[in-house]
Amino acid sequence: MTYFLLGLANSTPAEFTLRGLMRFGSWEVGVIKRLPIPQASGKQMQYISQLAQSIHDAKREWDRGNELSTSFERPWVLRIPAVKSFSRALDSVLAVEVEAEEHIQTIYNDLNIESYRLYGIPDATRVHIEQNLGDRPPELLWPQMAGKTDEQKRMEHVWRLLSYAVKRVAEMDEDGIVPLAPLSGEASLLDRVNEEIAALFPEQDVNQVEVEIANELKRRVKGYKRALSIGEWLDNIYFDYHASLYKKRPIIWHIASSQGSSSSAFGALCHYHKFDANRMAKLRAGYLRDAIEVFRREAALADKEHRAEDRIEWQAKLEEAQGLDQRLQAVQEGHHEGADGGENDYRILTPWKSPEECPKGWAPDIDDGVKVNIAPLQKAGVLRIAKVV
């Protein structure tokens, strides 16, 4: 019965009727309840139910490749079987989308024909209804990419794949902290992403796949920042994209010593769900301190060997990393000067809690949400992008 009602409610004659019943231009529950339901035989109900379920199943199948869906399994480009190259997989997934949308549109046409028949609407009236409704947008599997070109969709598939690889790396990491450069005995983010790519494409030459991905990233596509390599994409583009994809509620945070597109002296991805007081301490006392020692040692060596330009470069990195450490310390300690919530207030602000329940220093409560917990980091300027929430 559920799919039968859904099928009717999504048919053209139902849309026409509901528009006439609408108040103030909204699809109110009360209006939908007034939709007349025609008498249908068991066979008719079964047929309309099958059509509605077919549409639902087709969309659900597509959503298995959507990272934001509750039914997500893996990116679309990984769901294409037996492809010999990454580029061909991209071509195939675009073709699959077109084919699936055409299939859904055909089902909708059949649904409308049966609904007109069930409501007893003659052909002449049907023509009037469809003229009155005007041109309607085609059915889309991927509403977020409505109006986008194939080139834009292609790039989105590349970015979704890399996003998936990064997410797997961060989730599998024991402490949820992944440095961009090799530090504290851990491999770099790029090396781990490359390992993940190799695991995702076991039947292909991983070097060739990486070259193909890099070539895609180099394309000039409207609405997408260009990157010359996977490493550049990870450093300069990933976090901004991740924050946008997750509606400004990112679960993987890129903490860095500088913002913008310039290369950072230090950077690390931190998984929000693991980034508690102990992880903050480990980030500073472990990863960042190791980086500072490397920069200090290299600056001293360059000075000893009279390599002036190298010494200046390493000294700049050292000072940049030390500046990051100071800003992180302010967040870790919940430093507060001046007005509550002012520019020098680096506390996690939870005014709805009692004073005893408010966090002292960096002690995030996941239940308070990303917006609340990321705010002091954003204010301190320790995130790779200046504005997240």
pLDDT of 173-184, one tens digit each? 999 999 999 998
User: Whole-angstrom Cα distance, residue 240 to residue 223?
Assistant: 13
Residues 60 and 80 in one domain: yes
Which of 16-30, 128-142, 207-221 is predicted most confidently? 207-221
Residues 176 and 238 in one domain: yes
Rounded to two decimals, the pTM is 0.89
pLDDT band at 297 (very low <50, low <70, confident <90, very high): very high
Q: What is the mean pLDDT of residues 50-64?
A: 91
pLDDT greater than 80 at residue 135: no
User: Whole-angstrom Cα distance, residue 306 to residue 246?
Assistant: 49
Is 386 within the bounds of a domain? no
pLDDT per residue as tens digits for the range 81-121: 877 889 999 999 999 999 999 999 999 899 988 888 888 88
Round the CA-based radius of gyration of the chain to a whole number and report it.
27
Residues 180 and 325 in one domain: yes
Using an 8 Å Cβ cutoff, are 18 and 36 in contact?
A: no
Residues 234 and 360 in one domain: yes
Is 63 within the bounds of a domain? yes
Is 385 within the bounds of a domain? no
pLDDT band at 25 (very low <50, low <70, confident <90, very high): low
Give the domain-ending residue among 113, 145, 177. Answer: 145
Sign of the four-CA dihedral 37, 40, 44, 46: positive
Residues 231 and 286 in one domain: yes
Give the domain-ending residue among 123, 145, 167. Answer: 145
Residues 139 and 221 in one domain: no
Structure-token match 């139902």, residue found? 14
Residues 141 and 208 in one domain: no
Residues 97 and 228 in one domain: no
H runs (alpha helix) in 183-307: 189-200, 206-217, 230-236, 238-245, 277-282, 289-304
User: Whole-angstrom Cα distance, residue 209 to residue 385?
Assistant: 29
Is 205 within the bounds of a domain? yes
User: Whole-angstrom Cα distance, residue 213 to residue 111?
Assistant: 41
Is 306 within the bounds of a domain? yes
Tokens at 199, concatenated: 């695991």
Residues 39 and 170 in one domain: no
| Count of domains for the chain | 2
**C-alpha dist (Å) from residue 343 to 38, 245, 318, 347:** 63, 28, 26, 11
Q: What is the mean pLDDT of residues 131-142?
A: 77
Give the domain-ending residue among 120, 145, 170. Answer: 145
Is 194 within the bounds of a domain? yes
User: pLDDT value at position 123?
Assistant: 85
Residues 224 and 368 in one domain: yes
Is 8 within the bounds of a domain? yes
Q: Who has greater pLDDT, 20 or 123?
A: 123
The torsion angles phi and psi of 268, rounded to 5 degrees, stand at -155, 145
pLDDT per residue as tens digits for the range 186-221: 999 999 999 999 999 998 999 999 999 999 999 999
Is 19 within the bounds of a domain? yes
Q: What is the mean pLDDT of residues 284-296?
A: 97
Orientation angle between helical segments 86-119 and 2-9, nearest 10 degrees? 90
User: pLDDT value at position 199?
Assistant: 95
Q: In 3D, which of 332, 326, 301, 292 has the Cα closest to residue 183? A: 292
Cα distance between the two ends of the chain = 43
Residues 236 and 359 in one domain: yes
Residues 156 and 140 in one domain: no
Structural domain of residue 13, as residue ranges?
2-145
